[in-house]
Structure 1
């Protein structure tokens, strides 16, 4: 007889995955509420969660609190469960053309140690693997941990250094680093989760929302870097595709019908209208210490240092920048709206633009002017700050090595 269907191990892993997902998104939560959320019997939930408690993956944190003024319920209050954040630990790494950022966190991403290594652009797979392995070893020793305490090492590589680290894309559009992966596996004695840092930042935005109980079923992650826009649609916590196959899709979008030209792109494209060179060309007509003192100071008088973030900041003081800023932001607002419609997104997360919270408020103001009011409130900034870029790798390791496995080794 042929074997078919799902194995008992796969079924067990899937049930545990679902329970961990609910606890992450809604926790602390009771067994009864887990049963209701997943439409699994209470008995099944009790069996699974008790096993996970005995394995120290979940923990009971006490009774459900009584809301002030609420009617007193008869019987025993619900016992709440939460993920044991120190069941395992994650090492995360971020690699770009200037630095390697390494950090050690708990499962709920509390930072225990971090370090930035400046490499000066002389990056090879051999060098990067050596730095990561030695730094990881030191961090574990400092925290009295070993590789057995890790769920793995998550590593995010920025597109600018893919080639230096031997990155290659398969026919299916999957990014791989064969040599780098092998070197890391040989030296680190733990599981290595290696991929695009941009995709990992997209996952980080979703995980951050989940921890704050703000659930978006379809989110679009828009990254600015290496003078390119990268768009990654997310279905829950999973990217619908990596940036390998969609790098130039955003830049081919039209934001000004029959607008300016850029070689290899349609007229009025994002590349022609919203690239750094296009923005700087628009600003050049008024850029001077006399007319735009705030922007001049922000950029040290260097037009090539003008960005969308610096333009928004300076426009609140430099009157001469207002017409230029309005024109550029009208196009940027149209881009965001086009992306929302193209990907059927519930929300958009912005990353790499250098925006402050005040800049986000300015973007939302323009969105209310050029699109519908409710759309503006669905646009947010990525939670990963510059000093904590390694968190992209930590989140990737936690997702792949813990949640996707249902906590199973």
Structure 2
């Protein structure tokens, strides 16, 4: 039976609430969505019959409260399966997940500077994606989500970015060669969506997701919705000026945050040290400057390389200033920071020290919950799968 637009919207609200706040009772769904208890019971009953959700037992009653016990509902695993993929300059990654985000299969291809310019093309990516799809046929995946290093222009089927390589990456060729439904979104917005639907644990719907990668981007979840989803300038945190007399950024301005704290610029500065310092530990770790990676830089940092220490401590200082400015401008309950730099505990702790110092100077108490998310090569691919789950199952 065909459902109406109104019925579809009600179903979305209920399922979205179970994903983002589950386990949750029918009565709490009703209170949080303003959908009548009778309608919630009817729709959730249908979802249980479809094996999309299930009852997991009674909620622990609050002390001193009486009344009917609440039966909690949660998402059922293995209902359906989805493929996620992330395109980046460091690697391309694929994963197969179920509808709860549990990873079933994963595959990645690390890219060197040489690979990016000579190997990675639409055809290379399409071949790798098709191989991965074929390896997942027994799971009958419903669709594919792709997290991209920029913004997806739906009309032109292109990536909007200031990176010349991705500007010329032909998305239309990809769409024409893959038979499954495909959805594209900015990689950090995908991560923000995944954080809410899969990892938020029902705590809140207002948070900032701050990603430090080759470039930098900041996404804001406000009242359960991605803020300014169609305004491509909102979130380009790397182009906030932190030093007006600083280095010239690709965007034409001087002293942008990304010239201090993005992976691309940190690597660029490390290469200068490699060329000009005989005492740098980088030369003990690699033979050519083009082989410098964030991992190499972190190793040199731990060895006590003075030049690298200066670069990374400057990066952390300007990141802390920017994060504290965000805290004062944006209504959020937590800030989630993600990036390969922060897999080094010394840098994570230094960032927290800078954050506390900045707020103390202002005479403010730090009520923000700053969380440094564990770095994982498949975070983007998992987030892309979540995009697909949201588009095909939740909505």
TM exceeds 0.5? Answer: yes
Deviation at 1:113, TM superposition (A): 1.7
What does the per-residue CA deviation read over 1:261-284, in whole Å, with 9 as the maximum and x for residues that have no partner? 557544443255445547837995
What does the per-residue CA deviation read over 1:321-371, in whole Å, with 9 as the maximum and x for residues that have no partner? 777665543322212223444555443333334312623232111111123
Q: How does 1:263-282 map to 2 (within 5 A)?
A: 265-274=252-261, 277=265, 280=269
1:337 paired with 2:324, answer: yes
Matched residue, 1:21: 16
Matched residue, 1:181: 175
Asked if structure 1 preserves the Cα contact closer than 8 Å seen for 2:336 and 2:370, the reply is yes
What does the per-residue CA deviation read over 1:59-88, in whole Å, with 9 as the maximum and x for residues that have no partner? 122233467xx56957x6332221112221
Q: 1:98 to 1:305 in 2, by over 3 A?
A: closer
Asked if structure 2 preserves the Cα contact closer than 8 Å seen for 1:93 and 1:102, the reply is yes
What does the per-residue CA deviation read over 1:158-178, in whole Å, with 9 as the maximum and x for residues that have no partner? 35999xx972559xxxx9933
5+ residue gaps, structure 2: 162-168
Asked if structure 2 preserves the Cα contact closer than 8 Å seen for 1:97 and 1:160, the reply is no
Matched residue, 2:74: 82
User: Aligned partners of 2:330 and 2:170: how far apart in 1?
Assistant: 26
User: Aligned partners of 2:103 and 2:151: how far apart in 1?
Assistant: 27
1:191 paired with 2:181, answer: yes
Q: How does 1:330-369 map to 2 (within 5 A)?
A: 330-341=317-328, 343-356=330-343, 358=345, 359-369=347-357
* TM-score relative to the length of structure 2: 0.75
Asked if structure 2 preserves the Cα contact closer than 8 Å seen for 1:204 and 1:383, the reply is no
What does the per-residue CA deviation read over 1:83-121, in whole Å, with 9 as the maximum and x for residues that have no partner? 112221222122334643222111111111222356844
Asked if structure 1 preserves the Cα contact closer than 8 Å seen for 2:85 and 2:384, the reply is yes
User: Aligned partners of 2:369 and 2:140: how far apart in 1?
Assistant: 42
Matched residue, 1:107: 99
Matched residue, 2:227: 240
Q: How does 1:117-128 map to 2 (within 5 A)?
A: 117=109, 120-121=115-116, 122-128=119-125
Matched residue, 2:195: 205
Partner SS state of residue 91, structure 1: strand
Asked if structure 1 preserves the Cα contact closer than 8 Å seen for 2:324 and 2:358, the reply is no
Deviation at 1:224, TM superposition (A): 2.2
Asked if structure 2 preserves the Cα contact closer than 8 Å seen for 1:176 and 1:195, the reply is no
Matched residue, 1:407: none
Asked if structure 1 preserves the Cα contact closer than 8 Å seen for 2:85 and 2:146, the reply is yes
* Matching residue within 375, 385, 388 for 2:376: 385
Q: 1:300 to 1:129 in 2, by over 3 A?
A: closer
Considering only aligned residues, what root-mean-square deviation do their CA atoms show, in Å? 4.3
Asked if structure 1 preserves the Cα contact closer than 8 Å seen for 2:286 and 2:292, the reply is yes
Partner SS state of residue 355, structure 1: helix
User: Aligned partners of 1:312 and 1:363: how far apart in 2?
Assistant: 18
Partner SS state of residue 329, structure 1: helix
1:96 paired with 2:88, answer: yes
1:139 paired with 2:139, answer: no
Asked if structure 1 preserves the Cα contact closer than 8 Å seen for 2:87 and 2:147, the reply is yes
User: Aligned partners of 1:203 and 1:36: how far apart in 2?
Assistant: 23
What does the per-residue CA deviation read over 1:8-38, in whole Å, with 9 as the maximum and x for residues that have no partner? 7221122112212222233222222222222
- Name which one, 1 or 2, has greater alpha-carbon Rg: 1
Partner SS state of residue 198, structure 1: helix
Q: 1:133 to 1:241 in 2, by over 3 A?
A: farther
Aligned residues: 373
* TM-score relative to the length of structure 1: 0.73
